[in-house]
Amino acid sequence: MIKFFRKIRQSLVSEGKAVNYLKYAIGEIILVVIGIFLAIQLNDLNEKRKDHDKELSFLSKLKDDINLDIINLNQSDSLFTSYQSYSERSLQIFYRAKTVGDIIACDTLFRTAWTNLKINRKTYDEILNTSGIYILKNKKLLNHVTDYYALIETTQQDIIALNSTSQSFFSSPDLIPHIVLTKSYKSPWFDINKIDTTWIGDFNAPTTLALYRYYGNAQYGVNYLRKEWNKGIIKSGKELINEIEQELKDKNYKQ
């Protein structure tokens, strides 16, 4: 093609047709400009297609991540529901405890866990660390995604603070008589006469009060609040999934 145009130019020059040559040159320039323009347009369309595909991929993976979060949070909710039930029975015994057997029963039944939320942030972090935040075109949806992970981060910080408080109650020096009792109760050398049990049933005794603070914080703080926080995140996650599914539907995404 280039050789063809070159021959035409050479022919026009050799024939001395300057005006025709000028017209031809202008036409050739216009063709080149049009070619460049079309190339740019095609490249732009290709980049837009890539961004579109990437956007749909991000949304699909976000949906999968949040669905997995909800599954894990529901399992955690079941666990803390079980803890709450066992610990409620433990507290009922504790409030009327009079014997070593009562305290051992409390200790055996009581349940809690100082764990934090396990959330899959892989796709969200990928969005933040790449150009994904600009690729997602629905800014309202993007804000809701940001709000979801902000809620999780806040909750994780609250859980850390709550666990720290609960653990501080558990490590109170006033609980030493209780710890000695529960640790040595089933030991061959256990001798009730050599262990301080005068605190049992006495809500003025430091050990009973310390145990009450620990049980109360772990039950109504850790166990109860964890369930409530889980519910809040699950609700937010389900609403976000509905939004993502609608966005994928609007963009004709087929899985």
Over residues 144-160, the pLDDT tens digits come to 999 999 999 999 999 99
Confidence band of 3 (pLDDT split at 50, 70, 90): low
- Rounded to the nearest integer, the mean pLDDT of the chain is 84
Confidence band of 39 (pLDDT split at 50, 70, 90): low
173 alpha-carbon distance from chain centroid: 37
pLDDT at residue 17, rounded to an integer: 54
Mean pLDDT lowest among 87-91, 203-207, 209-213, 219-223: 219-223
CA separation for the pair 237, 124 (Å, rounded): 13
Contact by Cβ (8 Å): 210, 169: yes
Confidence band of 72 (pLDDT split at 50, 70, 90): very high
Q: What is the mean pLDDT of residues 9-34?
A: 58
CA separation for the pair 113, 216 (Å, rounded): 14
pLDDT at residue 73, rounded to an integer: 95
pLDDT at residue 81, rounded to an integer: 94
pLDDT above 60 (res 46): no
CA separation for the pair 63, 123 (Å, rounded): 10
pLDDT at residue 123, rounded to an integer: 92
Pick the more confident residue, 186 or 126. 126
**CB proximity list for 107: less than 8 A, separation 6 or greater:** 90, 178, 182
pLDDT at residue 27, rounded to an integer: 63
pLDDT above 90 (res 26): no
pLDDT at residue 6, rounded to an integer: 55
pLDDT at residue 53, rounded to an integer: 79
Q: What is the mean pLDDT of residues 112-126?
A: 90
Mean pLDDT lowest among 38-52, 84-98, 231-245: 38-52
pLDDT at residue 198, rounded to an integer: 92
Residue closest to 212 by CA, chosen among 194, 200, 195: 200
Q: What is the mean pLDDT of residues 54-76?
A: 93
CA distances from 84 to 104, 116, 217, 253 (A): 18, 17, 12, 43
Length of the chain: 255
> Residue 204 carries which DSSP code?
T
Measure the CA angle with vertex 85, ends 164 and 69; round to 5°.
60
CB atoms within 10 A of CB 142: 16
